[in-house]
């Protein structure tokens, strides 16, 4: 839990009294795993968000108010997240930031919708920076949810475009986490590969429990037995690291097509065996631009160490476009900021990004990259780094949507 | 024997002959409780959504802890899988809520009944196999069943919702009297009403013959057989009844949070209810309620102040096991016969003298713990932290030395005050016994 | 098919032996003292952390020896200063004490090493492939683990059956009061047993630490399965614990590999189940998805049908 640095001795009743938010403070809640299996990604994300918020505050805050980030640990648990969400709202938070786990995102987006319906005038907005189940901007979309990461379908489109051109790919094994996001990845892979390369055989479609498997050797044995040359997986955090570890131990020789090959610890786990085989689709990687972005370098200086390898470029985009929307709306009120955010465009070092008004999905450039030697910037002190295979411009990542959201008057 | 109602001690049972007085003494406590529940959400400190939300959570936890104590305190069954019945009740309730959202004309306040029913059915089905043995075997079976059910929820995503759980709305329902349960205050009153009803029923259970036999089974199962009862059947009934009330708590949980997911049946929740019941005291009816209130408050509020809160709770639990096995309520009740004696006035200074080194040692320990947590879990916040009104720097060795000295010195001084307390206590109990105001 | 079966058996045996390493200590403690030590998996975790920390200071091989000794000391302290005061109040109090201890140890570990997993990777000296099986390599550290596990079994077996102290322990298993009446220092033996059991858990942790991820939730992740092994194997039986570990290890590994469901079975038998049937979802569950519940199913069945366990000599 994030210590608020308040005095420790407080009478019981007074401890439950929460002072009205200070006049010049905008409270934003961060609800993500800070302990347990996904702690590595949650903690890294928290540091990244705090880093950009500090930058905004140093420049004067938004509309005169400094942002305070309140952190809550949810252990990737939808029920726990709603308990923390209640706490956050009662604490005065008007914005909620979450990303690790689409299961949680589903619960939060529904809860935020219900809260806003029941408490007009005290609306809360959900800033989703990493939960990429496409349903959140399609059948489950609502006005109060904004997503700043390309959804699973958009990423799969970019990945399969590159795979389609690769003659070496003959068979594919799918292994994913058994929940909404993992199933979405599997469905997207099957659909898009059938379209673009019907000759590729899908030799396996595995779903394993989320954040529970300690030893992936049985799964690796199945992959081996299926005799595939490529594995597609949406696994993240511990599930990614342990899968890769088991694969390396067993000497599995496949191409790893991943969403989260950049998960902390993955490159360290695979090491040299990952060169030219570990691929990922992401909105950025360390060698995306010839020179390292200044904020990335500053982050690395402030947080040295392999477990703090910068990953969340989308946090930078999110906070910059958020601050821009707040400036445009000349207010920090969630309703006004949301209206300003819809349809907004912004320039970034990687290209132009746009927040779609129809389904609140951010369009940003996507990179498909492979782990290589001889790159300018390496990751996790391994001597290996990412090299771009293909870049998809923001506009081209856009996919049709079924979203029909109700807008406030 | 364990039947003191809510901290008020029935001192001389023999004199309860006057009918109105007896009625008042027996039911007066419950009326007071009802009044308190009515007034609580309007007191300063609870007047906002957070306070009312906290009260609702406490009420749900109290029902769950009371249902757990039907097993632990009354029947002597230690269960590590009690959350199963809570969760299954919650799932049934949330599915009913969904049906109501889609048009079923049942008012929302009746939803917890579905939870209770599901709890009862689950308790009867699972209990028939698991209550054949008591003691350690029962504990292990309950652990196994708990893990089994938890893992099984992921295998049936149609009913249990998989990782996402099942959600529903508590407002999309018929609205008798115009109440839609959108506000936390309305939810609190609904929860408090059900909690009071559940507590009354559970208390009544302790007074029934079955309830008494449960206590007999706890104390001496062999003798129970001689008296003509089958201990296994008694355990089974206690188990089913406790599962019913656990399911009721689950239903209340479903209304409050509008989501039920797999961790509602999980081991962590089972562990928490065990902690609550034990810390509050399993020997008295109101003990679990006290434990539920204390632990819910700690979970909700302390976690905002320090990342070490779970360590404090764990240490508190261990201290309770070692030195106060009767729990907080046990400590309170232990003092009841002594309070009226003159010797109590001498006991108080003894406590006061002992409290000082205890607090000093505690401060030292807190300083050391907080500094360690800061360095290991939030190093980016720097090494300076605010404690007790001053800034402490974890980077300097003096802070560590100071903390260690406080712990050691306070601890030693505290040990030496024990003699004083123990003799003052002996004197007080002797006096109490002499004047005839002791416990039975 | 043969490849999958062979590799699965190998993986199952490895997993089973890891389980045995983890549970051998608890078998000893539970059998002898009747204490259901919830903190056993925590000592496993402590072994992992100690060995990582010591490994950074003095290298892997010394850490392999010292970390378990440290865990043994911790175990001795727990018994001497904590559990001893609780024994007289019965098994329930003992269980509760170790239960609370598990929470505390997890938090202490967080306090010292943080919430993130520490970079406990396979030491370079054993990070190579031992042999190849159907194209899959079998890493050396798994081989080391198997060797240590078998050595543990042999050591415990010899210690219990062939030494005097072992005889005392075995006697105290079924007749603790008599043994005490004969003049043996039963409390002292308790401390020894607890210390040895904890040291074994620590040793398992040294290897387990880099096979799994070394983080504060490690104890929580492996905790439940430990009890399954001890109970299924049976009280007082070392061989039972070994057999139960192997059984569970192999069963679970094979379960993951099998994608059949009851529905498939029915189909081969010619029975068709309608999609709208209420149990359809249940029948459609593949064995690979049901793998996590296999050990617990076994536990519950064993406790209901034969509480003595596979080879136990006494009920709990």
**Can you give the CATH number for the domain in which B271 is found?**
1.10.3470
Say if residue C294's pLDDT is above 90: no
- Evaluate if residue A331 carries a pLDDT over 60: yes
Least CB–CB distance from A43: residue in C3, C116, C129: C116
Is the pLDDT confidence value at C107 over 50?
yes
Q: Range with the lowest mean pLDDT among A382-386, C143-147, C234-238?
A: C234-238
Fold of domain A153-282? Rossmann fold (3.40.50)
- Whether the per-residue pLDDT at A17 is higher than 70: the answer is no
**B401-438 per-position pLDDT tens digit:** 888 998 898 888 888 888 788 888 888 888 878 876 55
User: What value, to the nearest 5°, has the Cα angle with vertex B96 and ends B93 and B102?
Assistant: 145
The values of phi and psi at residue B420, to 5°, are -60, -45
Give the confidence band of C315 by pLDDT, cuts at 50, 70, 90: low
Q: Among candidates A67, A47, A68, which has minimal Cα distance to A311?
A: A47
What pLDDT is attached to residue B436?
67
Domain ranges of chain C: 2-221
Domain end position, chosen among B293, B325, B357: B325
Using CA atoms, how far apart are residues B117 and B131, in angstroms rounded to an integer? 20
SS3 A4: coil
Q: What is the mean pLDDT of chain A?
A: 89
Strand partners, A30: A71, A97
Query: Quick check: C221 contacting A, CB < 8 Å?
Result: yes
With respect to residue B332, please indicate whether it lies within any of the assigned structural domains.
no
Quick check: is B17 in a domain? yes
For residue B182 the two structure tokens come to: 């959108």
Q: Do domains A12-150+309-363 and A153-282 have the same CATH topology?
A: yes
Region B298-317 average pLDDT:
84
The domain in which residue B271 lies consists of 13-325
Whole-number Cα distances in Å, C264 to B116, B439, C258, C306: 36, 66, 12, 31
Of residues C177 and B233, more confidently modeled: B233
Structure tokens belonging to residue B38: 């009515």
Higher-confidence position of A238 and A96: A96
**Chain C residue closest to B79 (CA)?**
C92
Residue (of C155, C157, C293, C154) closest to C228 by Cα position: C293
| Termini Cα distance of chain B | 9
Cα A313 vs. chain centroid, distance in angstroms? 10
Closest to A36 (Cβ–Cβ): which among C217, C253, C256?
A: C217
Residue C236: the pLDDT is 67
For residue range B248-277, what is the model confidence (pLDDT) as tens digits?
999 999 999 999 999 899 998 999 999 999
* Cβ within 8 Å, pair A3-B164: no
B3 belongs to a structural domain: no
Which residues on B lie below 8 Å from A210 (Cβ)? 163
Smallest CA–CA distance, residue A79 to chain B, in Å, is 6
Residue A6 has pLDDT above 70, yes or no: no
Residue boundaries of the structural domains of chain A: 12-150+309-363, 153-282
* Structural domain contains residue B8: no
Over chain B, what is the mean pLDDT? 87
Q: Residue B130: which of B206, B69, B61, B71 has the closest Cα?
A: B71
Q: Do the Cβ atoms of A292 and A106 come closer than 8 Å?
A: no
Instruction: Look at A218 and C121 and tell me if their CB atoms are within 8 Å.
Output: no
Query: What average pLDDT does the segment C263-279 reach?
Result: 80
- pLDDT tens digits, A262-304: 988 899 888 888 999 999 999 999 999 989 999 999 999 988 8
Cα–Cα distance, C58 to C71 (Å, whole number) = 17
- 3-state SS track over chain B: CCCCECCECCCCHHHCCCHHHHHHHHHHHHHHHHHHHHHHHHCCCCCCHHHHHHHHHHHHHHHHHHHHHHHHHHCCCCCCCCHHHHHHHHHHHHHHHHHHHCCCCCCHHHHHHHHHHHHHHHHHHHHHHHCCCCHHHHHHHHHHHHHHHHHHHHHCHHHHCCCCCEECCCCCCCCHHHCCCCCHHHHHHHHHHHHHHHHHHHHHHHHCHHHHHHHHHHHCHHHHHHHCCCHHHHHHHHHHHHHHHHHHHHHHHHHHHCEECHHHHCHHHHHHHHHHHHHHCCCCCCHHHHHHHHHHHHHHHHHHHCCCHHHHHHHHHHHHHHHCCCHHHHHHHHHHHHHCCCHHHHHHHHHHHHHHHHHHHHHHHHHHHHHHHHHHHCHHHCCEEEECCEEEECCCHHHHHHHHHHHHHHHHHHHHHHHHHHHHHHHHHHHHHHCCCCCC
B175 and B299 belong to one structural domain: yes
Residues of C whose CB is below 8 A from A43: 115-116
What was the pLDDT predicted at C173? 63
Q: C140-162 and C164-174 are packed helices; what angle lies between their axes, rounded to 10 degrees?
A: 80
Instruction: List residues bridging with C131 in a β-sheet.
Output: C138
Contacts of B215 (CB under 8 A, 6+ apart): B1, B2, B74, B75, B206
- Residue C283: what pLDDT? 80
Stretch C24-39: mean pLDDT: 83
CB contacts of A14 in chain B (<8 Å) are 45
Please state which of the ranges A105-109, C65-69, C79-83 shows the lowest mean pLDDT: C79-83
Examine residue B208 and state whether it is found in any structural domain, yes or no. yes
pLDDT of residue B13: 40
Q: How far is the C-alpha of A99 from the C-alpha of C246, rounded, in Å?
A: 40
Judge whether A202 and A185 are in contact, CB under 8 Å. Answer: no
* Structure-token pair, residue C265: 């079975």
A210 touches chain B (CB under 8 A): yes
Q: From CA C160, how far away is CA C253, in angstroms rounded?
A: 31
**pLDDT at position C134 over 80:** no
In total, the C-beta contacts within 8 angstroms joining chain B to chain C are 128
pLDDT value for A15: 37
Nearest CA in chain C to B127: C304
Chains touching A (at least 3 CB pairs under 8 A) are B, C
Length of chain B counted residue by residue: 440
ipTM of the complex: 0.86
pLDDT for the residue A4: 42
Q: Which of B396, B408, B3 is nearest to B203 (CA)?
A: B3
Choosing from B325, B359, B386, the residue where a domain stops is B325
Asked whether the predicted pLDDT for residue C94 surpasses 50, the reply is yes
CB-nearest partner of A79 from B46, B51, B264: B264
| pLDDT surpasses 90 at A328 | yes
pLDDT band at residue C313, thresholds of 50, 70 and 90? low
Q: Is pLDDT at C245 greater than 70 in this prediction?
A: yes
Residue A258 phi/psi, 5-degree rounding, is -125, 165
For chain C, the average pLDDT equals 85
Chain A residue closest in CA terms to C137 = A250
Q: Which residue has the higher pLDDT, A146 or B423?
A: A146
pLDDT above 90: residue C47: yes
Q: Which of C1, C29, C17, C9 is nearest to C211 (CA)?
A: C17
Q: What are the distances in angstroms from CA B42 to CA B188, B255, B363? A: 11, 21, 34
Q: How far is CA A191 from CA A3, A186, A187, B207, B240, in A?
A: 46, 9, 6, 64, 49
| Euclidean distance between CA atoms C12 and C35, whole angstroms | 29
Task: Give me the percent of chain B exceeding a pLDDT of 70.
Answer: 94
> Is B330 contained in some domain?
no
Other residues' Cβ atoms within 10 Å of the Cβ of residue C134: 13
pLDDT for B2: 46
Interface test with A, best of B163, B376, B391 (most A CBs within 10 A): B163
Interface probe for B, chosen from A79, A82, A116, A209 (most Cβ of B below 10 Å), is A79
Identify which of C281, C292, C316 has the shortest CB distance to residue B136: C316
Tens-place pLDDT, residues B13-63: 434 455 667 777 778 888 899 999 999 989 887 888 888 988 999 999 999
User: Which residue from B392, B141, C109, B438 is spatially nearest to A35, judged by alpha carbons?
Assistant: C109
Provide the 10 A C-beta neighbour count for residue B359: 13
Residue C168: its pLDDT value, please?
80
Q: What percent of chain A has pLDDT over 70?
A: 94
Final residue before a domain boundary, out of B325, B358, B377: B325
pLDDT, residue A26, reads 94
Three-state DSSP at A305 gives coil
The tokens for C300 are 């519950």
pLDDT digits (tens, 9 = 90+) for A29-78: 999 998 888 888 999 999 999 999 999 999 999 999 999 999 998 888 89
Our count of domains for chain B comes to 2
CA atoms of C160 and A199, how far apart (whole Å)? 63
pLDDT for the residue B437: 55
Q: Which two tokens stand for residue C296?
A: 């617990």
Task: Tell which residue, C30, C98, C17, has the closest CA to residue C237.
Answer: C30
Give yes or no for residue B9 having a pLDDT over 50: no
The DSSP H or E segment spanning A204 is strand A201-208
B419 and B274 within one domain: no
Question: Which residues in chain A (59-98) have CB-CB distances under 8 A to chain B?
Answer: 77-80, 82-83, 86-87, 89-91
Sign, CA dihedral B234-B235-B240-B245, equals positive
Q: Does domain A12-150+309-363 have CATH number 3.40.50.2300?
A: yes
CA distance A136 to chain B (A): 13
Interface of C with A in 15-34 (CB under 8 A): 15
Q: What angle do CA A328, A333, A337 make, to 5 degrees?
A: 40
Give the mean model confidence (pLDDT) for residues A82-110.
92
Joined tokens for residue A120: 């007009």
Least confident stretch, B164-173, B282-291, B423-432: B423-432
User: Sorting pLDDT into bands at 50, 70 and 90, what band is A243?
Assistant: very high
Average the pLDDT over each of A123-132, A363-372, B401-410 and give the range with the smallest value: B401-410
Disruptive mutation site among C6, C7, C12 for chain A (greatest number of A CBs within 10 Å): C7
By the CB < 8 Å criterion, does C166 face chain A? no
Angstrom distance (rounded) from CA B265 to CA B268: 9
Residues in chain C with CB shorter than 8 Å from the CB of B325 are 89, 93
Closest CA of chain B from A343, distance in Å = 30
Judge whether B432 and B338 are in contact, CB under 8 Å.
yes
Of A1, A78, A90, Cβ closest to residue B309: A1
C115–A217: do the CB atoms touch at under 8 Å?
Answer: no
Q: A101 vs B350, which has greater pLDDT?
A: A101
- For residue A55, give the DSSP letter: H
Q: Which residues of C touch A268 (CB under 8 A)?
A: 119, 121
Q: Is B125 on the interface with C (CB under 8 A)?
A: no
| In the predicted structure, residue A22 carries a pLDDT above the cut 70 | no
What pLDDT was estimated at residue A267?
A: 92
């Amino acid at each position: 839990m994030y210590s608020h640095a308040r005095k420790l001795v407080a009478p019981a009743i007074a401890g439950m009294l929460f002072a009205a938010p200070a006049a010049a403070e905008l409270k934003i809640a961060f609800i993500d795993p800070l302990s347990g299996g996904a702690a590595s990604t949650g903690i890294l994300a928290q540091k990244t968000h705090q880093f950009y918020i500090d930058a905004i505050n140093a420049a004067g805050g938004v509309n005169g108010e400094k942002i305070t980030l309140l952190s809550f640990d949810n252990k990737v648990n939808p029920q726990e997240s709603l308990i923390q969400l209640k706490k956050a709202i009662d604490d005065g938070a008007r914005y909620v930031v979450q990303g690790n786990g689409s299961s949680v995102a589903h619960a939060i987006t529904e809860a935020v919708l219900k809260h806003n319906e029941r408490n007009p005038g005290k609306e809360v907005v959900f800033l989703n920076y990493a939960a990429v189940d496409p349903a959140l901007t399609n059948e489950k979309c609502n006005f109060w949810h904004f997503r700043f990461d390309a959804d699973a379908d958009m990423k799969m489109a970019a990945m399969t475009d590159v795979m389609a051109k690769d003659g070496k790919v003959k068979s594919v094994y799918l292994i994913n986490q058994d929940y909404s996001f993992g199933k979405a990845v599997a469905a997207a892979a099957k659909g898009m590969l059938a379209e673009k390369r019907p000759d590729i055989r899908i030799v396996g479609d595995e779903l394993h429990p989320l954040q529970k498997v300690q030893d992936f050797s049985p799964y690796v044995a199945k992959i081996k037995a299926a005799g595939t040359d490529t594995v597609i997986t949406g696994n993240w955090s511990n599930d990614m690291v342990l899968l890769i570890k088991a694969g390396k131990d067993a000497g599995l020789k496949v191409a790893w097509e991943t969403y989260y090959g950049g998960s902390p610890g993955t490159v360290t786990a695979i090491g040299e065996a990952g060169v030219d085989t570990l691929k990922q689709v992401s909105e950025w990687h360390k060698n995306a631009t010839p020179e390292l972005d200044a904020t990335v370098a500053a982050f690395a200086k402030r947080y040295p160490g392999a477990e703090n390898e910068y990953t969340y470029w989308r946090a930078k985009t999110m906070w910059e476009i958020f601050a821009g929307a707040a400036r445009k709306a000349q207010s920090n009120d969630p309703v006004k900021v949301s209206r300003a955010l819809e349809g907004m465009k912004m320039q970034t070092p990687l290209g132009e990004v746009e927040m779609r008004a129809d389904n609140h999905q951010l369009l940003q450039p996507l990179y498909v990259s492979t782990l290589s030697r001889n790159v300018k910037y390496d990751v996790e002190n391994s001597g290996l780094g990412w090299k771009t295979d293909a870049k998809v411009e923001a506009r081209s990542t856009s996919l049709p949507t079924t979203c029909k959201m109700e807008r406030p008057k | 024997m364990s039947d003191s109602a809510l901290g008020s001690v029935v001192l001389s049972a023999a004199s309860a002959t006057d009918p109105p007085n007896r009625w008042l003494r027996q039911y007066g406590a419950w009326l007071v409780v009802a009044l308190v529940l009515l007034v609580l959400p309007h007191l300063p400190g609870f007047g906002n959504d957070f306070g009312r939300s906290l009260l609702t959570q406490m009420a749900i936890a109290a029902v769950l802890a009371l249902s757990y104590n039907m097993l632990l305190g009354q029947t002597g069954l230690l269960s590590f899988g009690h959350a199963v019945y809570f969760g299954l009740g919650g799932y049934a309730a949330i599915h009913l809520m969904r049906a109501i959202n889609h048009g079923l004309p049942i008012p929302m306040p009746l939803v917890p009944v579905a939870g209770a029913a599901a709890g009862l059915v689950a308790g009867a089905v699972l209990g028939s196999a698991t209550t054949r043995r008591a003691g350690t075997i029962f504990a292990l079976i309950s652990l196994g069943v708990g893990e089994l059910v938890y893992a099984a929820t992921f295998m049936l995503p149609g009913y249990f919702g998989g990782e996402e759980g099942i959600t529903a709305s508590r407002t999309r329902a018929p609205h008798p009297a115009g109440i839609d349960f959108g506000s936390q205050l309305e939810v609190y009153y609904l929860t408090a009403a059900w909690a009071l009803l559940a507590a009354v029923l559970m208390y009544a259970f302790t007074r029934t013959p079955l309830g008494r036999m449960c206590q007999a089974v706890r104390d001496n199962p062999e003798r129970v057989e001689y008296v003509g009862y089958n201990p296994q059947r008694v355990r089974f009934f206690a188990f089913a009844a406790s599962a019913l009330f656990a399911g009721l708590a689950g239903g209340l949980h479903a209304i409050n949070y509008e989501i039920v997911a797999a961790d509602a049946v999980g081991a962590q929740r089972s562990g928490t209810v065990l902690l609550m019941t034990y810390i509050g005291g399993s020997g008295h009816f109101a003990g679990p309620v006290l434990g539920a209130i204390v632990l819910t408050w700690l979970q909700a509020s302390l976690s905002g102040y320090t990342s070490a809160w779970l360590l404090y709770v764990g240490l508190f639990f261990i201290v309770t096991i070692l030195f106060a096995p009767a729990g907080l309520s046990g400590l309170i009740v232990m003092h009841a016969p002594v309070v009226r004696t003159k010797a109590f006035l001498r006991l108080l200074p003894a406590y006061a003298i002992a409290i000082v080194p205890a607090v000093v040692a505690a401060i030292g320990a807190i300083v050391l713990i907080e500094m360690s947590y800061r360095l290991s879990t939030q190093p980016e916040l720097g090494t300076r932290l605010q404690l007790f009104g001053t800034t402490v720097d974890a980077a300097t060795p003096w802070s560590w030395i100071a903390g260690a000295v406080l712990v050691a010195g306070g601890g030693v001084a505290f040990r030496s005050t024990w003699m004083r307390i123990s003799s003052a206590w002996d004197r007080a109990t002797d006096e109490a016994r002499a004047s005839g105001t002791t416990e039975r | 098919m043969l490849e999958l079966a062979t590799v699965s058996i190998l993986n199952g045996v490895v997993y089973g032996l890891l389980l045995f390493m983890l549970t051998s200590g608890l078998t000893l403690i539970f059998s002898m003292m009747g204490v259901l030590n919830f903190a056993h998996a925590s000592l496993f975790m402590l072994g992992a952390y100690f060995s990582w920390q010591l490994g950074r200071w003095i290298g892997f091989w010394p850490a392999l020896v010292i970390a378990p000794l440290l865990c043994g000391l911790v175990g001795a302290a727990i018994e001497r200063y904590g559990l001893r005061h609780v024994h007289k109040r019965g098994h329930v109090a003992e269980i509760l004490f170790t239960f609370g201890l598990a929470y505390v140890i997890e938090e202490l570990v967080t306090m010292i090493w943080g919430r993130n997993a520490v970079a406990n990777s396979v030491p370079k000296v054993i990070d190579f492939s031992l042999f190849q099986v159907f194209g899959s390599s079998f890493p050396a550290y798994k081989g080391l683990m198997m060797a240590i596990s078998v050595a543990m079994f042999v050591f415990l077996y010899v210690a219990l059956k062939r030494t005097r102290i072992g005889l005392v322990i075995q006697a105290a298993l079924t007749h603790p009061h008599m043994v005490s009446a004969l003049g043996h220092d039963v409390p002292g033996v308790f401390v020894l047993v607890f210390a040895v059991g904890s040291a074994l858990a620590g040793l398992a942790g040294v290897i387990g630490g880099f096979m799994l991820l070394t983080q504060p939730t490690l104890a929580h992740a492996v905790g439940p399965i430990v009890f399954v092994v001890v109970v299924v194997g049976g009280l007082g039986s070392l061989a039972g614990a070994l057999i139960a570990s192997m059984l569970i290890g192999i069963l679970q590994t094979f379960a993951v590999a099998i994608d059949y469901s009851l529905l498939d079975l029915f189909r081969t038998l010619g029975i068709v189940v309608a999609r709208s049937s209420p149990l359809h979802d249940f029948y459609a569950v593949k064995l690979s998805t049901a793998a996590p519940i296999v050990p617990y199913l076994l536990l519950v069945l064993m406790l209901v049908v034969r509480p003595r366990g596979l080879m136990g000599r006494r009920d709990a």
